[in-house]
Chain A
């Protein structure tokens, strides 16, 4: 545990920590472009120069391990300042001045450093013609990544990412010296299951994600911590949104799960969160859907449930632990209904954690481990079919996307048999047969926890109120008694998170123990009741505050 002094602040760090991380621990920011906490150190950009007492030459902080008694000067050293200014001059000598039209503006490390640390009096000595790469200004190098080589600062982060993390080695340098540029290996398309991360690690606008380009300025986005719903690994993400529209997912640092990576499959689910096909509770009358209100819907559904002699509930591994718990308590224990959680194998996904170990998943659901832990019966396609063939007075589908079988003609025929209640968000054939349609919002408007296949319970926060304007309370929960004023920021509607509807149903059905005000309360109840969740604390499951800046968000600077 070496103890060292950086800019007059003493800090003790683990041995082997480099000076950038040591300085971070001491509260001193050392600028860097090529360094990335989860990639090998190459020392190419030379901006992290620091002065170390007793050494004649400046050293690069990224490649210098902290040593006992070291006295480091970063911002307090005139030599360091001069050297960094010179390096910035070198980098900006050939960097285009196109920040206004560059999509990276606002989350660009070069721009940040230029704005924050260069002195106002600094001017460049560069008077020559800039280096350009004609034909490489807007080049789609793969399905998701757009390259602008003119902006590249040759930090090689993207190359190292494909070599060390995604292991495709798809990107490489071509040519040499000042004309060196980034290209795909052998000129093949940049086919990489994590290609979006190459754009993430790019400190400038040289690589950008095609799906996000020019959709929203980076500084307008707010980042809400969440968990990727794409598969059972449970990568930590930020939902980046503005005015109730989700624009993208970016990885959120978690060394135990996904370091700072996210696969393309998960990343590009972001857009799908904006789909909200059903905005109001609707009931089927004489074959037609009729708009209804929540009050009417809850009491009608409760009446139907009370009257039903048998009840079956198709739950889903896409629901949060709290929702599954409430469903089990309410429908299973209170109403003595039958529950099933259908699962299907998704495409294989994998993710590397901070120790560069792969985790694999062939499970397309974010919370199948939670369903198992709650002891809910897990079924496959055949099991689901058997479940639906069994007789029941009322069928409830908590999430029609739980299994593709639910969209099949066979399943729809079975659901037509008796009265059915479906909680829906996006367009789904179940809506054509269900007696009641109850709209639920997306993950971005929900709150709760998922249990990943790695066995970790992870919390996700609500990014914005669901369509229809449910106000958030001080604790972050949705207040149910909010007036349904049309929101200026989203489609007017009354989608309600499932947990909220379940608590309202519980109240109506007299299950007062389940009449809860927030997912946190449901979680506490679950922790008390379930051995599998014993000892967990809601507050401890991640400090879920919104990212203050893109640096924090991207965890690269």
Chain B
């Protein structure tokens, strides 16, 4: 497949607006400005573009949820808070082709009639936040942003908002709270952000990769985009492959390619010729898949059918040397650290899972531990929590326990009982007890 989103990778001075314009940049923006917002939304609906942030919700439909008759301002937010473990695609897009994102933000803002857009970028991405700010300044200097853009009457300001390094702020309502200057606590839904979002106004939150697809859809047409991949799962997708493969990195492939092709053809197979044991298909919050499930197609529907999810496309490959208890513990540590602490099951459950897995790793597993883990996970997911972070730790951990239960049982068999804690007996320091005291 020809490179679309990563076409600038390897091109000299690829970040400059001149390079971007030479490659046909901002044509989509000009085209969008000549159309009505509704028509732009319709093009995106026709392209069947689905959100690349993890949930895979149809982007055009999300835009169309913004109330048509809302009188006040609306906002577009580009979610660049890329913090899912094993995901590093948005950074790659911004590194090589930031104008793609700026143009995508502009078109999406136009489609929902927003005059202000925010790019919420995680605080650790200092370099990429600077790159975006430079790109926005360049675009503004060329008249692609600002007041009465290219004589169309449309206004748009884009602000880069830096987060403070919380995973939860990648969740759209927590992100909105964070932009408002509050603690990153996810909101109760409904109302959904498309109705009540940032500053109480209709807001659309889209991932960087999603918005980067939009300029291409505008210039090349919805039919072209829909021809990539397979029906309902259209377009190019960035896969970030990490772990025990020979050539880790970001790969742009059409949706619907199998994980086998990604791992064995594009990434050169497992390191040292070892066997594939398991892999996370879309970041650690997606349920794990075993080596035997490698022929599943990497797209939203096929993954859902296989009981997992494509998520952000962060594929983490584990070879046969991986200790699955250790993997589960690693996952648990991340989510216990990143749980916001707002609702009960996630706050208590993530930490509890971590404690159990830590103890198992330390060689003190108990017979009931796998079942306790499954119980905690069961009651932390499927609507028990405000936001999907409960599912994000519950589903991978329960899938690891279910699919690799013998490893957990082996830990129990080999376990040493926990050493009895003895209270220290301190020497008596007071007056000598005895008669006559």
Contacts and interface: CB of A to CB of B under 8 A. Distances in A.
A178 B356 contact: no
A91 B379 CA distance: 13
A57 B379 CA distance: 12
A91 B344 CA distance: 7
Interface in A43-71: 43-47, 49, 57-59, 63
Contacts of A86: 345, 375, 378-379, 384
Interface string A78-117: 0000110011001101100000000000000000000000
A127 B367 CA distance: 12
Contacts of A125: 368, 372, 375
B426 to A, nearest CB: 19
Contacts of B342: 42, 44, 154, 156
B117 to A, nearest CB: 28
A154 B344 CA distance: 8
| B336, B359, B375, B379 interface centre (most CB from chain A within 10 Å) | B379
A39 B56 CA distance: 35
Given A93-B352, A177-B336, A43 B343 contact: yes
B382 interface: yes
B379 A87 contact: yes
Interface string A153-195: 1101000000000000000110111111000000000000000
B344 A177 contact: no
Contacts of B352: 90, 93, 126, 128
A41 interface: yes
A372 interface: no
A152 to B, nearest CB: 11
Contacts of B341: 154, 173, 175-180
- Contact residues on B (Cβ < 8 Å of other chain), bracket: 20 to 34
B237 interface: no
Contacts of A128: 352, 355-356, 359
A126 B386 CA distance: 23
A43 B343 CA distance: 8
B340 interface: yes
Contact of A63 (B188, B336, B337, B347): B188
Nearest to A156: B342
Contacts of B356: 128
- Contact residues on A (Cβ < 8 Å of other chain), bracket: 35 or more
B79 interface: no
Contacts of A336: none
Contact of B344 (A87, A131, A172): A87
Nearest to B386: A43
B348 A90 contact: yes
A179 B348 CA distance: 10
A129 B356 CA distance: 10
Contacts, number: 96
A180 B379 CA distance: 21
B168 to A, nearest CB: 8
A91 B348 contact: yes
| A41, A49, A90, A175 interface centre (most CB from chain B within 10 Å) | A90
Contacts of A58: 383-384
B345 A46 contact: yes
A176 B166 contact: yes
B339 interface: yes
| A41, A49, A63, A128 interface centre (most CB from chain B within 10 Å) | A128
Contact of A83 (B350, B351, B384): B384
Interface string B305-336: 00000000000000000000000000000001
Given A43-B188, A90-B348, A177 B340 contact: yes
B339 A178 contact: yes
30 contacts: A43-B188, A46-B343, A46-B385, A49-B384, A57-B382, A57-B383, A58-B384, A82-B379, A86-B345, A86-B378, A87-B344, A87-B345, A91-B344, A93-B348, A94-B348, A125-B375, A127-B366, A128-B359, A154-B347, A175-B341, A176-B166, A176-B338, A176-B340, A177-B338, A177-B339, A177-B350, A178-B351, A179-B341, A180-B340, A180-B347
Interface of A: 41-47, 49, 57-59, 63, 82-83, 86-87, 90-91, 93-94, 125-129, 131, 153-154, 156, 172-173, 175-180
Given A125-B372, A128-B356, A176-B339, 17 more contacts: A42-B188, A43-B386, A46-B344, A46-B384, A47-B344, A57-B383, A58-B384, A86-B378, A91-B348, A125-B368, A128-B355, A129-B355, A173-B341, A177-B337, A177-B350, A178-B339, A178-B348
